[in-house]
Each structure stands twice: as structure tokens, then as C-alpha cells.
Amino acid sequence: MQPNILVEQVAANLPAPIWFVQFFKALGFTLHAIPMNLWYAGLLIALWLHLRGNTHGQRFGARLLQQMPVIVAFGINLGIVPLLFLQLAYNRVFYPATILMAWFWLAIIALVTLAYYGVYAYAWGLRQQGNAMAAWRKAAGWCAAVFFLAVGFLFANGLSLTEHVDRWADLWKQHSVAGAATGTALNIGDPTLIPRWLLMFGLALGTTAVWLLVDATWFARNTVDEDYRRWAWSLAKKLYTVSAIWFAAAGSWYVYGTWHSAIRQTMFDWPWLPLTVATAVAPALPWALLMTAGFCNEKRLTLAAIALCQFGVLGLNATSRQVVQNLNLNPHLQLYTQPTAVQWSPLVMFLVVFVLGLGVVGWMVWQVAKSLPSPTR
């Protein structure tokens, strides 16, 4: 069967220029990736440190675990943006892919709910009883970490299937009743699935390393001593090194082991070559900054640079993903020739509300900052 006959073009107008959709999709995904990384790899690390770490490790573990409910809340929220824009312009491939795996796709909702409450159980246990918290709370935290890994696996399934239309026909044949999908397919046979999933975990280790430093230098600055900071820097270095190696390994597997040769050719040719190279080597920059920074109690500028670089790493990754997604979909989806009628006034309303909203949130955060104890206390 030609895969092409499973995708039909849309009649309704696209309400925003396609570049706008892609920009917000990639930006939204980058922003979502920061908190998502922290529950993806960070949660596991925090649980481990809290269980087995030295005093500093336990302290960081407890801190991150207590921050986790807020991180999860904002992370889920930030995930809405890329999904909204994905559904807007890629609907004709996104819906069929997720319908084929409907039950698993729906399971994400259940898993996220359970994981979320698991995180709360642990965090509030810590707050009220410290290390003496009930065993079920600890178990709930570990379950949450496992559930988040499973959610990542399901997302990798859904998005790799969205991108690989040629895989639909087989899955449909195996998982259908009278031509209707039973929603029980998983994209297991797709060679890109596992390296994709692992790639994100590698990035997540790096983001967690950066968060460890950000927390020690800013959020915890009045409560931790120099010894803790020294420990934090040394752990962050190790963690980031693992992250970079992991990223390189999973990335090479992904690019050389699973990409169609046509995609590889395009990505290693003009105009995409610089993007491909930049994405591949990006983690080297924050890593080098981290390794050469040595240790000093007040490394705020260096740390700001490292954090910015990590944001760049995630951003480049999202951009490359977007390009590869488009390349894979090009034969099936007329992305750039969709009928478009820009809804200008709602678009402006959104941008205005967005800026005002940032202002309101900024004001609230400022009120909180004012109320925090001063360093002399």
C-alpha cells in the first residue's frame, strides 16, 4: 500500500503563517524541555541522592523533590504550547498516528496524574516529616519517576509515528477491527524510537546538572555553605560529562543507525549542515565552560553563561527535530502550501495578553522576592 493514500490535505484555513506556527512550536518545546528534563532524569537522581547520598546529596535531593510539584505543574503547562501548534498544522499526520495507539496515548493522562500525585506525596511527606516520612510516600516518589520514564517512552512512540507515515499501514493491519483502529499499536518496530527516547534522557542529565548549580547559587544561596557549593560543582561536572557522552552515543546511533539515507544526506548538506553540526557539538560548550570554571563561591556570571548555553543546546535540538520532522513529512504533507488566512486581531490579542501576563507573573514573583529573608538573617 502506498503510505500516501492515508494522508489527505486539509480544507480549513491555517489561521497563522506556517513560520509562526513552527517558531512557537519549537520555542514552546524548548521551554517545556527544561522542566520536563528535571522530572525525566532529575527526579531519579534526586530520589537516589536522597536515599543514598552524603549529607549534601541528601540535601539537594530533598530540595529538588520539594520543588518538583511546582516544576511538574509548569512543565505540563508549557507542554500545551507545542502540542497546540503541532495539532494546528500537523493535524493530518498527528491524529492518525495517535489514533493508532489511542489507548497508550490516553494512558499518558493516567500516568501523568499518578506521577504528579506521587511527587506531591513525597514532597509533602518531606515537608512534614522529613526523612521519617511513611514508606508509601517514598514508594510513590519512585513510582512517579518510573511513570515519567514511561510517559517519555509513549511520547517518543506517538511523535515518531507522527513522523513516519510509512509505518502506519502495517500497524493498522495488525491493530484493527473492520478497518477501525483498536488503538493498541505501539511504534516498537521503528528503529528511531529507542535512540530518540535515550537522546532526551541524555539531555535531561545535562539540564539536571545545570539546575543543581542554579539552585545552589541562587535559590539556596542563603541556606547553603561553601562546602555544599563545592560539592555541587564537582557533581555537576561529573553529571554533565555523563550527559555529553550519553548524548553523543545516542545521537550517533540515531543519526547514523536509523535515519533514512536521504534525510542524512539533506541534513549533512547545505543549508542544514551548520544546524546539524551545531546541534551535535552544542553540549561541548556548556561542558567546557563548566570544566574550566574551577570552583569559586561566586561564579554567577559563568553560571549564567552555562545556563544560557544549556538553553541553546535544548533550542538547537528542538530546531533540528523540527527540520527532520518536516523532511520526513514532506512527501506526505503539503505544509507550506496549506491555505492560510491569518487571524490578525486574535493573534494580536494573544500577543498583548501574553506580554501583560508576563507582567502580572513578574509582579507576583517580585512580591515573593521582596518577602524572602535577606542574606543577613
Partner 1 sequence: MHYPWWYVPHLTAPMLIAAISVLHVLISHYAVGGGLFLAVEVAHAYKTGNRAYLDYLQRHAKFFVLLTVVLGAVTGVGIWWTIGLSSPLATEVLIRTFVFGWATEYVFFVIELAAAFIFLYYWGRLTEKTHALIGWIYALAAWISLVLITGITAFMVNPGTWADGGSSQDFWTAFFNPQFLPQTIARTGGALLLSSLYVYLHASLTIRDAKLRDMIASRSARPACLGAVLITLGGIGWHFFLPPSAKDALAAAAPLNILVVLIFALTAVVFVLLYVGPYRNPGWLSPGFAASLCLFGIAAFSTGEFIREAVRKPFIIYNTVLSNQIYPEEVQKLRGIGYLEGGVWTKAFVKTHYPQAIVNDRIAGSELLKLPHQDRVALGEVLFQYHCNDCHAAQDGYSSLGRLLHGRSRELVRNSVDHLDSIYFMPPWAGTAEEAELITDYLMTINRPRPEGMRVGTETAEVK
CB of 203 to partner 1, least distance (A): 23
- Which triple of cell numbers denotes residue 21? 506556527
State which residue, 297 or 343, has the beta carbon closest to partner 1. 343
In whole angstroms, what is the distance from residue 322 CA to residue 26 CA? 7
CB of 289 to partner 1, least distance (A): 31
Residue 177 in the binding site for partner 1 (CB under 8 A): yes
In whole angstroms, what is the distance from residue 338 CA to residue 295 CA? 54
In whole angstroms, what is the distance from residue 39 CA to residue 138 CA? 16
| DSSP 8-class letter at 177 | E
**Residue among 15, 23, 219, 228 that touches partner 1 (CB under 8 A):** 15
- Which triple of cell numbers denotes residue 55? 549529607
What residues from 185 to 214 belong to the interface with partner 1 (CB under 8 A)?
A: none
Burial environment of residue 25 by CB neighbours within 10 A (0 to 12, 13 to 18, 19 or more): buried
State which residue, 273 or 351, has the beta carbon closest to partner 1. 351
Residue 81 in the binding site for partner 1 (CB under 8 A): yes
Residue 239 in the binding site for partner 1 (CB under 8 A): no
In whole angstroms, what is the distance from residue 296 CA to residue 43 CA? 27
In whole angstroms, what is the distance from residue 28 CA to residue 368 CA? 26
In whole angstroms, what is the distance from residue 181 CA to residue 166 CA? 16
- Which triple of cell numbers denotes residue 38? 528535571
User: Do 237 and 290 meet the contact criterion of CB atoms below 8 Å apart?
Assistant: yes
Query: How many residues would you count in the chain?
Result: 377
Residue 343 in the binding site for partner 1 (CB under 8 A): yes
Residue 98 in the binding site for partner 1 (CB under 8 A): yes
Query: What does residue 249 show for φ and ψ, rounded to 5 degrees?
Result: -65, -50
Residue 134 in the binding site for partner 1 (CB under 8 A): no
Residue 153 in the binding site for partner 1 (CB under 8 A): no
Site string for partner 1, 25-64 (x = CB under 8 A): ----------------------------------------
- Which triple of cell numbers denotes residue 49? 541522592
Residue 141 bridge partners (DSSP): none
State which residue, 12 or 301, has the beta carbon closest to partner 1. 12
In whole angstroms, what is the distance from residue 283 CA to residue 314 CA? 9
Residue 135 in the binding site for partner 1 (CB under 8 A): no
Segment near partner 1 (CB under 8 A), from 91-99, 249-257, 303-311, 314-322?
A: 91-99
Segment near partner 1 (CB under 8 A), from 168-176, 214-222, 234-242, 253-261?
A: 168-176
Residue 76 in the binding site for partner 1 (CB under 8 A): yes
Query: Where along the sequence are the contacts to partner 1 (CB under 8 A)?
Result: 1, 5-8, 10-16, 70, 73-74, 76-77, 80-81, 84-85, 87-88, 91-92, 94-96, 98-100, 102, 105-106, 108-109, 112-113, 116-117, 120, 169, 172-173, 176-183, 343, 345-347, 349-350, 353-354, 357, 360-361, 364-365, 367-368, 371
